[in-house]
Amino acid sequence: MIVSSKGRYALRVMTALARQEQGGYIPLKDIAESEGISRKYLESIMGLLSKGGLVDASHGKNGGYRLNRPAEAYTVGSILRLTEGDLAPVACDADCGRNCPSRAMWDRLGKLIDDFFDGITLADLMEDGEGKEKER
């Protein structure tokens, strides 16, 4: 499994929004500048996050983006699945008709990956400062 720049940037943006004052909308331009992400690329990421219900968007003079729940309510897994799709380590067609001896292993690894990312919240990333997973 490789997490693309879209997934990595979505995590950075969500963490940046979590650090902002509650209730206020942050303009896309300000997010792009503070995170060093092109506005055009950020527009596509924010569109995904908004359509996926992770952020609220407001248009107009005081518009921008904000989280719609506390940082503790967002998991890294939910953000990555929205931006990256399935986090499975391999693309396996269950209907291939073959008796695959390694299928159970890949399924277990996929569950470990899901459990790992679902066990980390935006609040955890904010505490870690650098985005490194804290020791548990």
pLDDT value of position 20: 82
26 CB burial (10 A radius; 0-12, 13-18, 19+): buried
- How far apart, in Å, are the Cα atoms of 9 and each of 6, 23, 54, 101? 5, 22, 14, 37
The whole-model pTM stands at: 0.85
Q: Which domains are seen in the chain, by residue range?
A: 5-128 (1.10.10.10)
pLDDT tens, position by position, 31-74:
999 999 999 999 999 999 999 999 999 988 888 999 999 999 99
pLDDT at 121 over 90: yes
Distance of CA 100 to the CA centre of its chain: 32
Comparing 127 with 53, the larger pLDDT belongs to 53
How far apart, in whole angstroms, are the C-alpha atoms of residue 10 and residue 79? Answer: 7
